[in-house]
Amino acid sequence: MKVAVIGTGYVGLVAGACFAHGGHRVICVDIDERKITALKAGSIPIYEPGLATVVAESVAGKRLGFSTDTADSVADADCVFIAVGTPPGEDGSADLTYVLGVASAIAPHLTGYTVVVCKSTVPVGTCDKVEAVLRQVTEADLDVVSNPEFLKEGAAIEDFFHPDRVVIGTDSDRAKARMAELYHPFVERPDQLLFMARRSAEMTKYAANCMLAARISFMNEMAGVCDKMHVDVDDVKRGIGTDRRIGRYFLNAGIGYGGSCFPKDVKALLRTGQSVGCDMALLEAVEVVNAAQKRVLAEKGLRHFGAESGEGVRGKTIAMLGLAFKPETDDMREAPSIVVAQMLVAAGADVVAYDPVARETAYAVLGGDIAYAATWRDAVANADVVTVVTEWLEFRGISPEELAAATPCRLVFDGRNIWDPQKMAAAGFTYAGIGRPPT
């Protein structure tokens, strides 16, 4: 099949590369000439494990190309994917300017029967608007389909190749058949393809992300109670996670969620519900808990040194291990590290941070307010406090003995609960996690 993907951001580039890997002929389109030039030269603008290899193999196999020419790219395409950004507006609602702009741009150039697919995360009813824009401009034979993505940053390639499910919103039998053909290389069972109404598919995306965000906020709220009552939240997690009705995923206590999806989608669904008169009290609470949780790690440090005002950390060196909002990505959008760093710097601390891949993206956000180390050992070498902000495997593999040998510091605040409290204590560290009794 010939597939055109409009937008080469995280969603568009991953989808285009994976469809090409599955044997389809794919052209990824973007109006940013510098990005397209870089992609043609083999430069990948985002960090995603395995993506560079998939792109290189597909380009070498002449199944994947890049272009700024929308008209030529969508002509004769079997499927055209809209995969551009939907940034939150001032009120938190999704901005559809780019999505509807793409619909206007592609409409005059569609030929033959075309399935236009909304891959961007969009509010309920957006596909209706896209179709209205297309119908105003063209009489081409087409169907508009909702096909939200459910990929995890850091594991997107694996998720695409082996999906839990593929949600496809359409009532058209022709569109169903074409989408089934498109995803055939990636699904092993017919029940992995979930066909439903377009609006149901659009709502499913928001509901999934908001459910996961709610689980995270619930466990972080439990961690706060555990802190006060000398209970280990990890024991609680094991106790409830083995209940089949609950499951063990997204129950890790920490310093809050970030990234491009959860914060934006919680806000968007919250505003959508409120716009139709629904009291979205649960989602409001999820936002409040998450915002407070991003402050917990810095607040623990300030309290330890005896002053909520922060005078106690003035002039002290604080090592931050991790900057990206989660491991296996360089994404700094809504990262808890931003709040932690800004609070500590405002309190007068000298922050030295290390992240395996997010140094450049972090600098774009935090600039020179903090120092950036080349290795974790460099970050902790002269530290008065060591903090864990992102749970990279590299950090999980650090033994207490290794850490003790690398720094004179014996005070650790573990914002992701990656280290064993008893082993840390045995190595001479004063250790505090999230929802764990301090040692």
Q: DSSP string spanning 73-102?
A: HHTT-SEEEE-----B-TTSPBP-HHHHHH
CB 354 within 8 Å of CB 374 = yes
As to burial, measured by CB atoms within 10 angstroms (0-12 exposed, 13-18 middle, 19+ buried), residue 363 is: middle
Phi, psi of 432 (to 5 degrees): -135, 130
The helix-helix angle for 198-229 and 233-241 (nearest 10°) equals 140
Q: Report how far apart the first and last C-alpha atoms of the chain are (Å, whole number).
A: 60
**Which residues make beta-bridge pairs with 351?**
318
Q: Which of 127, 261, 278, 409 is catalytic?
A: 261
Distance of alpha carbon 168 from alpha carbon 86, whole angstroms: 19
Residue 333 and residue 326: Cα distance in Å, rounded?
10
Give, in degrees to the nearest 5, the angle at Cα 288 between 277 and 329.
Answer: 110
278 classed as catalytic: no
Identify the residue whose tokens are 């409001």: 284
Cβ distance 368 to 340 under 8 Å?
no
Catalytically active residues, by annotation: 261
